[in-house]
Structure 1
């Protein structure tokens, strides 16, 4: 799929029925889970980050699929609710010195299961979708353990106060995020393009 830049099993099978059936059997195997596939992202990244200053960049992508009101295909709402699909939240490791991509680190693939009526501000952190920013950083800890320095980078959606505090407790060298609101503390740096500032929360010695 990566090499061919295609997810259609029929096209990937190149007209060979046996290959197409093989793909279906692999994906239908109970041992092939989303969790195990995600774990496989980081297997080669562990050694690639050793001794480097790593930028651990995380963000969320919306994968849209064509649906109709009568056939949602088990997909959840994305965007403003006009589309249907899945969400992929991933962290990628980048060499801070060269800018080279070192590999995928951690992440999650999920579907929104309907709308939540409880206001966001009244929900516990574990009940919020924004929890993914913290969970991904925690998953990354073992993968990036051999890196000389790790700087977590994310956009303003990750501006969760608990995330900066959690980064400090994990003794992460720094956590950079675009600020979604004004608050005291941290060192502010203008972000090119406006709309917020990067707030760096350094861990205590």
Structure 2
């Protein structure tokens, strides 16, 4: 697969053989993302080579991610705006009692490590790749109480990762591309808002009903006191505990200046002035809580069109949840048995590239459906796919378009493609790609070049 070679063309592992091993490993894992390492690699010799690769100290997270980031930046060259979407997930390895180097992850007795990712997404909603990452193990002491937490400096808090990653991404992406950091309620951090003065743009969901500057008023009341700017409908994606549905939303907007927290008064900080956009669902199904999002942004919102753009961009935040979902449920990261934290984190880095590939394929097919499928499939792959679909050895002169090919792959994975089924999801694409790989292998045996 040429894409894997392009992803790691600049990988600095200190040995060309290690780089080639990385490319080969990613190719195999991309073909069988849900399989265990022995199942994906097929032969014991290849499996042993993979274990040695993950154990090799020359194989650094920095080298893997840096090479992938360069490939991601190449994809973004002609894009004037990019969304840098951040989120955190946790990997649970509690059942792997012999794995060394893990730490607490929540309830007493649970162990694993954390991953904070920053996913680049185009203004049209197509994932481009990972711009930054941070993996860490929490100390055995666990989290502080609220009072103790306030007394610690930002640099000593886990929340500093939002600030540090925002700065890192802004310094990495060329100035010709506008970067808008997007985050959920965990990113409601006063120090993040202070970055607005240094040309850092963001769009985050508020977690706290903050007091406003030089006023007795609070954030929510200030916005909901304004008239409704307009109404719109948004598709809420399905989740484990809810089906997909359409939500009718009202939008209200206000310009607000946030009050500096009392324990920061001595720092003489300039209170940040932001746009606040309140999004509320007018009615919801009886068993579901209605949607209510308070979005804080550096972007100007004076008209409905601008409000809708902010809302649309915030809904793209679900892309990073899908990315973490692929890692955990698709690539089965938490089933890996690699004995040490260092080996596991190297494996996560490799699987991250596999996950972004699957994510890109899903959304690119929706954005550019008429593009030739050869942008993602080898010649033998699309031909094997065509024959499997049509049960015929007669091939067309030109390959099908991307949307058609992705639909056929999804149907290999069990997608029915009925009118009400919508676009195929990630799970059926994983299954379809695994089936396509078997078909392609048979095609290549019968049609040697």
Aligned-residue offset at 1:147:
4.9
Q: 1:91, 1:104 within 8 Å by CA — same for their partners in 2?
A: yes
Q: In the alignment, what sits opposite 1:103?
A: 129
Q: How does 1:109-128 map to 2 (within 5 A)?
A: 109-114=135-140, 115-117=142-144, 119-128=148-157
Cα distance in 1 between the residues matched to 2:107 and 2:197: 34
- Which of 25, 33, 37 is matched with 1:9 structurally? 37
Q: In the alignment, what sits opposite 2:166?
A: 137
Q: In the alignment, what sits opposite 1:67?
A: 95
Secondary structure at 1:44 match in 2:
helix
Higher strand share: 1
Secondary structure at 1:88 match in 2:
strand
Give unmatched runs, 5+ long, in structure 2. 1-28, 213-256, 258-273, 281-290, 301-449
TM-score, normalised on structure 2? Answer: 0.40
Q: Which moved more, 1:130-139 or 1:112-121?
A: 112-121
Runs of 4 or more above 3 Å deviation: 70-73, 79-82
**Higher RCO (C-alpha under 8 Å, 6+ residues apart):** 1
Q: 2:86, 2:119 within 8 Å by CA — same for their partners in 1?
A: yes
**Structure 1 residues 170-192: Cα deviation after superposition (integer angstroms, max 9, x where no partner):** x22x2111112123321111245
Distance change >3 Å, CA 187–CA 117, structure 1 → 2: closer
Q: In the alignment, what sits opposite 1:87?
A: 114
Aligned-residue offset at 1:51:
3.3
**Structure 1 residues 142-198: Cα deviation after superposition (integer angstroms, max 9, x where no partner):** 4321553221100111111111223532x22x211111212332111124522x511
Secondary structure at 1:181 match in 2:
coil
Aligned pair count?
197
Work out which of the two has the higher radius of gyration on C-alpha atoms and give 1 or 2: 2
Secondary structure at 2:117 match in 1:
strand
TM-score, normalised on structure 1? Answer: 0.83
Distance change >3 Å, CA 191–CA 38, structure 1 → 2: farther
Higher helix share: 2
Q: How does 1:12-91 map to 2 (within 5 A)?
A: 12-14=40-42, 16-52=43-79, 53-67=81-95, 71=98, 73-81=100-108, 83-91=110-118
Distance change >3 Å, CA 126–CA 161, structure 1 → 2: same
Cα distance in 2 between the residues matched to 1:49 and 1:147: 10
Give unmatched runs, 5+ long, in structure 1. none
